[in-house]
Structure 1
Amino acid sequence: METKAALKALAALAQDSRLAIFRHLVEVGPEGVHAGAIAETLGLPGATLSFHLKELHHAELVESRQEGRFVRYTANLATVQAMVGYLTETCCGGRPEMCMPVATPLPLPTVKRKPTRPQ
């Protein structure tokens, strides 16, 4: 990964709604989810969600595919893996095997989600 691409991805994730969207897509997994479900889960208005998804897509952090009149979004984990590789390529004085495993998730508190609106 080049520095410019890493900066684009890091900048896209440096906003609370975009980070929440991306983390939700990672949680959902490779099957992805429709935009409406993301909006409902995270309590984001459609226009706001659309803006943030566009930014994440521009940074190559999400992929989308049309399914009839809906769009399904998935996290692009290849970009994240490339970014982690970029950030850790000189880890431990150029001996990355000493830093393995790099991508082991740390235990984090559960993400607080905005309550959904009653239907």
Structure 2
Amino acid sequence: MSTASWVMKVAEELVAPCEPTPCATLPLSSIDHALELVFMVMVEIISVYPNNNREHRLHGMSLSAAKVIREALAKALVLYYPVAGHLVSSDGDHVEVACNDEGVWFVEAMAADYNLGDMNIND
């Protein structure tokens, strides 16, 4: 079964740090360059939560799991601000991180009438 046939994108946006962060260009470590990790910087994380019609409550407001995660990500990016930047090339061979509060992509999706057991990942 194709994933596209049962997963629907609800929203997508750049999530930026919720507070100002330092603007700088930071060099990658010599370990990053030696191991050629500059080509492996794209990290995708998929978190799956059951739709059990429970919502988190904060100060009397109802919050969806996606909203809670989005807000937590914005707070985490304040402390880990280089993650919200992008890679830039300097001096030809070297790659640096431009810390610019750009943010990271957050995509919210939902699956209709399926659970994880219905998806055959090993096929």
TM over 0.5: no
Of structures 1 and 2, the one with the larger relative CO (CA 8 A, separation 6+) is 2
Report TM bin, short chain: under 0.3
The structure with more radius of gyration = 2
